[in-house]
Amino acid sequence: MKQWGFIATWCMAFDACFEASKELAIGTKKASDIVEHAIKKIEDYPFYKSVGCGGLPNTDGVVELDAAFFDGDTWDFGGVAGVKNIANPIGLAKKISTDRFNCFLVGEGATIEAQKQHLPFKNMLTERAQKAWEQKKQDILLKNLSPYDGHDTVGAVTLDQKGSMAAAVSTSGLFMKKSGRVGDSPFSGSGIYVDSEVGGCVATGLGEDIMKGCLSYEVVRLMEEGLSPMEAGEKALNRFEQKMLKKRNHCGAISLAILNNKGEWGIATNVEYSFVVSTQDIPATVFIAHRKEQKTIIEKASEEWLQAWYKKTHRDTITI
């Protein structure tokens, strides 16, 4: 059996990773379909507050979503940004990725295209997310808090047994963002990049900063030069952070999930970051990473950590 692999950002991708790993082990479905299905599953789950249905709204209380799909074989790339009321932004991104023209659509135009493509519509604002928004509005007003929190984009890179790779990302973006704000996620090279001859990378974190560095492109490029996924991720992130500190005195949260075309994986992060991996050698597993004295420490999530995460994620109210 040939190598296969799946890596995705954040613990929320565990169920999707588990399902994907079963399909990848069987080996009949394509990487592109598996990664789309995985992201759809996460978009559909109303308890994840940063992706799809249940995602946190913008400052006006409206859920605006971004997504992108990238086929590593054909370089079919599709992106959507600031879309509303579409059940699966990733489905629209994949749909338009095969078009030679108009493969990136924003706002109302994206909604019109989804209608023409007969994709399902849905009210993506859950009562739970709305309550969190109302609470945050109050807090900002009364406690003068910074409105910006919570931008946990889900992104995944997949390698199937035939050697095809694909990547996909989906996010509701920054909680309390301005209407129309888009982060790095749907931009080729910033939030997502994949080449089946090399590997792929997806990013999560402060999109405004990530897009200044084209980090997903840079990681894939470094892998093409011969670096392992871990080496490429760390090198790209460290270099970028140094530039950011020099130019701007600060650098936002950034985490990467990386897979090469041999099924080897890697990550890089400047915050505590959970991610999920499965390959031929590893059953679907949640890992936690953080940086300590310039080194990336990766540990398997403990039962205790997972239970606390599950409890927090499924509470009636969202705590930010």
- Cα separation, 203 vs 190, whole angstroms: 7
Binding mask 278-297 for its own copies (x = CB under 8 A): --------------------
* 115 contacts its own copies (rule: CB under 8 A): no
* 10 contacts its own copies (rule: CB under 8 A): no
**Which region among 3-11, 68-76, 120-128, 275-283 touches its own copies (by CB under 8 A)?**
68-76
199, two tokens = 């590997």
42, 170 Cβ separation under 8 angstroms: yes
For residue 23, what are the contacts with CB-CB under 8 A and spacing of at least 6? 29, 34, 37
Selected binder of its own copies within 2, 27, 74, 310 (CB under 8 A): 74
Site for its own copies, residues 150 to 179, rule: CB under 8 A: 174, 177-179
* 139 contacts its own copies (rule: CB under 8 A): no
- Cα separation, 224 vs 294, whole angstroms: 24
Selected binder of its own copies within 137, 212, 235, 290 (CB under 8 A): 212
Place of tokens 């978009």: 43
Instruction: Pick the closer one to its own copies by CB: 249 or 317.
Output: 249
Phi then psi for residue 270, to 5 deg, are -115, 15
For residue 70, the surrounding DSSP H or E stretch is: strand 65-71
What does the DSSP 8-state code read for residue 112? H
Q: How far is CA 134 from CA 53, 70, 151, in A?
A: 18, 36, 18
Instruction: Pick the closer one to its own copies by CB: 110 or 169.
Output: 110
- Cα separation, 288 vs 10, whole angstroms: 9
Residue 111 is among the residues annotated as catalytic for this protein:
no
β-bridge mates for residue 194, sequence order: 200
Selected binder of its own copies within 22, 247, 300, 315 (CB under 8 A): 247
* 113 contacts its own copies (rule: CB under 8 A): yes
Mapped onto helix, strand or coil, the DSSP state of residue 286 is: strand
Instruction: Pick the closer one to its own copies by CB: 236 or 277.
Output: 236
Per DSSP bridges, beta strands 199-205 and 282-292 are: unpaired
* 110 contacts its own copies (rule: CB under 8 A): yes
* In the complex, least distance from residue 86 CB atom to its own copies, rounded to whole angstroms: 12
**Which region among 105-113, 133-141, 267-275, 289-297 touches its own copies (by CB under 8 A)?**
105-113
Selected binder of its own copies within 25, 119, 244, 271 (CB under 8 A): 244
Q: What are the helix (H) ranges across 8-87?
A: 14-26, 31-44
Catalytic positions: 153
Q: Where along the sequence are the contacts to its own copies (CB under 8 A)?
A: 58, 64, 73-75, 77, 81-82, 99-110, 112-113, 148, 174, 177-183, 187-190, 193, 195, 207-208, 211-212, 214, 217-218, 221, 243-244, 247-248, 252
